[in-house]
Structure 1
Amino acid sequence: MARDRSFADDDFPEPRPHPIAPWAAVLGPSLLVLAVLAGLFFFVRTSRERPSLIPDAQLRETTPRISFNDIEKARIALFKTIKPSVVNVDTLLVQRTFNFGVIEQQQGTGSGFVWNKQGHIVTNFHVIQDAIVKDRRLTVRVVMADRSKWNARFVAASPDVDLAVLQIDAPEDQLVPIKVGTSHDLEVGQDVFAVGNPFGQNLTLTTGVISSTDREIQSPTDRPITGAIQTDAALNPGNSGGPLLDWDGRLIGVNTAITTTTGGSVGIGYAIPVDTVNEVVTRLIREGRDPRPTLGIVALREQLTRDLGIAEGVMIQEVRPNSAAEEAGLQGIRKNPFTGAIIKGDIITAINNEAVTSLRDLQKVLEKFKVGQKVTITILREGQELTVTGTLKGL
């Protein structure tokens, strides 16, 4: 058995005294005195600088607010009115644990709004896209302004215009449908308000103006969404699907996209115009899909068409394969195979003898028909008027 070893005194070398220099013997006491005086000075100085406490300190008397100005009152009233109509739309991965518990992991978040008393909720398609297309294990949950939570059923979507409709089973008295306005009569410079869930911060109000109209943004299917509203109201990730409002609290657009170099708002946001939203959402609720009749063309942007000196009509930039336009022999912008010169696309001027002066006119005219109907298309091709026919197909 090993025994503990103890160290004897001679196991360690005996300390040897270090000689002190002769000058240190003289200066040592002086240095010690100086150190004591310096410490004393520091203590006295810090004692003097230390703030004194006031044991009987009282709360400051407040200055009453006289009143909100008229603009503030109107903005506050608008928010209080719209608040019950705005919701959070979250996608969650729900997993069961070994002890039969449940863990919910948030995968995404966005915004939405109440459409009607039947519990239909409108949001952007891209907000719930993962739950609908990529991972069926995901649950879509709607959180109301009163913080009540409702699992949502998917009703239908139109990815080409980035809109989707959900439905929840909330009681009617909790469902406050949003007021629906119009977007064709919007003016650049008018005030707008965005309410949503940016970065998960629920029911956030931001303000701005309409910076421009008739912008073009891309849908999740890479098809252009025309007529988008541009605003400088701050929009950030999480605002998608929320309402853009006017002073009357009417829906004028659905906040959808931003242009950014930082990942957050830089003052350039876009909303789908409510005229489009109203038409598409109604079809989704009524038919479960959005079979919009189409010619199957890509139209040149209206401003570019006007810049080319064409005052009216819709110029075709590209013809889609297997479309009514291809069937009718319509032609888009192309090159002359011999000279390489650019040839302008056909200009649509009428459908079934109803004048088409703009892209909006074309969309409005086509909405009057059904998929499968034949229509006559009046065009201008290199200055010559032609009339052709094609069968409308669903987009």
Structure 2
Amino acid sequence: MFGAIPAIDSWSSLNRRGASSRASTTSRLQRSPTRSRASSSGDGGWSDRAGIPVIVRDSGACQAPWLVVTCKLQVTPRVSSHSQEIASMSAIQELQTALSDVAERVGPSIVGIGSRQRGSGVVVGDGRILTNAHNIRGDEVTVTFSDGRSTRGRVAGVDVDGDLAVVTVDSNGASALKWADGVAAVGTVVFGAAATPGGGTRVTLGTVSAVARAFRGPGGRKIAGSIEHTAPLAPGSSGGALLDAEGRLLGLNTNRLGEGFYLAIPADAALRERVAALGRGEAPPRRRLGVAVAPAHVARRLRRSVGLPERDGTLVRGVEDGSDADRAGIREGDLIVAVAGKPISNPDELVEALASAETPFEVTVVRGLDERTVVVGSGVATGEA
């Protein structure tokens, strides 16, 4: 219902409420005795809805000094704004509580790695610490717990290509983090946890911004399936934990993208198996062909510059003396186009093919215009390709 509020010079009349006992109430509108003539002439009447008298116009447009408003506009925004304030404060308090709870719960399970804290680590079992391989130097490493206690740990296993390492140490009762169920989805609220120098734990807040991302490990090989998130990480945080709202392990923070984005290796079933193997000292086999290679676009440009037809493959830029490639007769300038029957068009495909090939295996190369096949890993030098 539309009503009219008097102009400022008549504002005091809003406080008038009483209707004459002789006034007509057949329309359920209580008319002010001082406005009975206006009402009877069809110009309008006083309404006492919600204790706020307003003039109701029967017809025609309101003219000054009256301002057309609605009761809803007077009351509802205030209630809505107040409700939103309460809801916002409640959400903030819940978030603060969750952050404090996670920090308290996981703090003892987050450790510093290295005497000058090159990185962080996560307690994943009794006396077992998971961290990044790039945080490790040698067979032993200093581990600092959240209470400030430092001790030496032994490196049980290292996966350089996967950027993972497991260290065995006296964890002094520090409990292992629980593994999260399932995979984090875009938009999931997450916490980043890392050690601070000299003891203590830093916990930050963010969200999952993307999944199934890839990056280069310390050996230059691609690590796929990573979780991209926005929880800020300070230097020394690599190897720390990416956690869900319950403080469970979602991933191992590993790489900084810049612009406020970070990557974590997902804490899935495959990671659990790799961690268990590294804890037993079972480092994954790392097959090396012994060649330096160039990106595919470089190979195409170089072949085009010398008048050779363009072809997909990986260009050999150098060969390590005494390597499998050297013994097989692979030479600088060769274009590797297949490994163990799998076509090769870029260095990542070369790495993947080498990892899955059974020794010995065949490598197809193009030298100039000639295509030839050599055998790698047979233990016998095959001479010129």
- TM-score interval (norm. to shorter): 0.5 to 0.7
1:376 Cα shift? Answer: 1.3
Structure-1 residue corresponding to 2:153: 153
User: Could you tell me how far apart the structure 2 residues matched to 1:111 and 1:197 are?
Assistant: 6
1:368 Cα shift? Answer: 3.8
| Residue among 209, 214, 234 paired with 2:232 | 234
Asked if residue 122 in structure 1 is aligned to residue 124 in structure 2, the reply is: no
Seen in structure 2, the aligned counterparts of structure 1 residues 389 and 281 have a Cα distance that, compared at 3 Å, is farther
User: Could you tell me how far apart the structure 1 residues matched to 2:297 and 2:273 are?
Assistant: 25
1:224 Cα shift? Answer: 2.3
SS in 2 for 1:153: strand
- Counterpart contact for 1:348–1:379, Cα < 8 Å: yes
User: Could you tell me how far apart the structure 2 residues matched to 1:67 and 1:303 are?
Assistant: 55
Structure-2 residue corresponding to 1:195: 193
Structure-2 residue corresponding to 1:348: 337
Seen in structure 2, the aligned counterparts of structure 1 residues 254 and 328 have a Cα distance that, compared at 3 Å, is farther
Asked if residue 298 in structure 1 is aligned to residue 292 in structure 2, the reply is: yes
TM-score (norm 1): 0.51
- Counterpart contact for 2:313–2:345, Cα < 8 Å: yes
Equivalences for residues 188-337 of structure 1 within 5 A:
194-197=192-195, 202-207=201-206, 209-210=209-210, 213-216=213-216, 219=218, 223-227=219-223, 233-244=231-242, 251-256=250-255, 267=260, 281=275, 283-301=277-295, 313-332=313-332, 334=333
Which ranges in structure 1 are unaligned for 5 or more consecutive residues? 1-62, 93-106, 260-265, 335-344
- Counterpart contact for 1:87–1:111, Cα < 8 Å: yes
Residue identity opposite 1:127 in structure 2? N
Structure-2 residue corresponding to 1:389: 375
Asked if residue 366 in structure 1 is aligned to residue 318 in structure 2, the reply is: no
Residue identity opposite 2:336 in structure 1? I
Seen in structure 2, the aligned counterparts of structure 1 residues 108 and 281 have a Cα distance that, compared at 3 Å, is same
User: Could you tell me how far apart the structure 1 residues matched to 2:328 and 2:152 are?
Assistant: 43
Q: How many residues align?
A: 280
What do residues 140-173 of structure 1 show as CA deviations (whole Å, max 9, x unaligned)? Answer: 23526xx595745312334566532112345889
What do residues 276-312 of structure 1 show as CA deviations (whole Å, max 9, x unaligned)? Answer: 9678645533445454122223343467679999896
Structure-1 residue corresponding to 2:176: 175
Residue identity opposite 2:216 in structure 1? E
Equivalences for residues 67-86 of structure 1 within 5 A:
67-68=90-91, 83=106, 86=109
1:175 Cα shift? Answer: 1.9
Residue identity opposite 1:240 in structure 2? S
Seen in structure 2, the aligned counterparts of structure 1 residues 252 and 176 have a Cα distance that, compared at 3 Å, is closer
Seen in structure 2, the aligned counterparts of structure 1 residues 374 and 114 have a Cα distance that, compared at 3 Å, is same
Residue identity opposite 2:143 in structure 1? R
Seen in structure 2, the aligned counterparts of structure 1 residues 381 and 227 have a Cα distance that, compared at 3 Å, is farther
**Identical aligned residues as a percent:** 23
- Counterpart contact for 2:122–2:130, Cα < 8 Å: yes
- Mean CA deviation greater in 171-180 or 289-298: 171-180
SS in 2 for 1:178: coil
Seen in structure 2, the aligned counterparts of structure 1 residues 356 and 120 have a Cα distance that, compared at 3 Å, is farther
Q: What RMSD over aligned residues (CA atoms) do the two structures have, in Å?
A: 5.2
User: Could you tell me how far apart the structure 1 residues matched to 2:245 and 2:296 are?
Assistant: 29
Asked if residue 141 in structure 1 is aligned to residue 140 in structure 2, the reply is: no
User: Could you tell me how far apart the structure 2 residues matched to 1:168 and 1:198 are?
Assistant: 19
Structure-1 residue corresponding to 2:22: none
User: Could you tell me how far apart the structure 2 residues matched to 1:83 and 1:171 are?
Assistant: 15
1:87 Cα shift? Answer: 1.2
1:378 Cα shift? Answer: 2.7
User: Could you tell me how far apart the structure 1 residues matched to 2:300 and 2:189 are?
Assistant: 28
SS in 1 for 2:201: coil
